[in-house]
Structure 1
Amino acid sequence: MTRSTITTGTTTGTATATRYDRRMYALMNRREAAALYATAARRRAVVGAHVLMTLASIAVWLLMVLDADALWPAFVLLALVLPWCVATGAINAATRGLLELRGRMLDERQLAERDRVRALAHRITTGILLIAAAVMGAVTWFADVRFEGLAFAALFSALVIHWVMPLWVAGIRAEDDEPDLYGDPVAE
């Protein structure tokens, strides 16, 4: 570990930053693909595409589990991986690594924003799970449909949505970049 001065956001602080921390910070702050997320509309489009690809991946994976003999879902899943990763990278770049960087690499404003994003994502996920439980309960109660066979699929879907919801919320909440007036924020 080395001791270095790190500039993040608008403040400069002294922190213990490893080579991994500096590399991730540099990676999350690259601007080559900035055209993908330069405006709020483009960020919403990338997040929307990411949501659709995530839901499609869940559906295809569940088809693979339910019909182990079918080979086509595996190819569809493989085809979804690359664009899903590109969209994930674009969202992470738009948020400048808000959720991926360690806390010591973020300033106070970024730490507070990360806490707000996680709290909002938690509330959204809780609402989705509440609605899903209520719908499944109502269908079971009134229509006498049993969901025992789908319990794993429902839990897996909930886990995936819980996992990526903070990324989606951060991508939607990200603001447009301000012009770079002070140069490269990473002290080498």
Structure 2
Amino acid sequence: MGLFKASLQNKQQPGCEVHKTQISRIDIQLALLLICTCSFFQHSYAQKNKLAGTWQLISFSDFDPATNTWVQPYGEHPLGYFTYTKSGIVNLNVSSQKPLHFSADSAKKRCFTIYELLFTNGANYFGTYTIDYKNSTVTHYPVGGNIPWYINTCQKRQFKIKGDTLIIGDPTFEIGKRILVKVD
């Protein structure tokens, strides 16, 4: 009980009140600094995760310089998803709006070049990815899929996110452009 009274008496002394006020100001300043710091890191974390999620393919276009036109190798309404996980895994699947239909038996008799199959029917790959926000690029590092010349290479793409829309393609979007909408 004597200690309690002594501590109350110390708090009532004029020198202690100033000290108490200074501590309160320091506490408030530290609290504000902590709030600002947390807000900054939350913003940075959110920015780094804008690409994370599943995006549905809406348009897949390439510019053909020979004809000076945009072409849609998978049709006007291609099917597919691009998925980017928060942990850095990418999985891309693209299919023609009118996939090939034939039986397993007839598949043994049909002949396609890899190029014909990929650019008229569908393409896919999976691997990891990194993002360079300063330059608005994403680099895919495919480790598997049906595009043999992509496996174990770096596939750098320019990207823009506007709301729930992802535009991804070449650095100027003048040669190739894919438009996707976030679904998850």
TM-score, with normalisation over the residues of structure 1? 0.21
Greater share of residues in strand: 2
* Bigger radius of gyration among the two: 2
Greater share of residues in helix: 1
More relative contact order, 1 or 2 (CA 8 Å, 6+ apart)? 1
TM-score, with normalisation over the residues of structure 2? 0.21
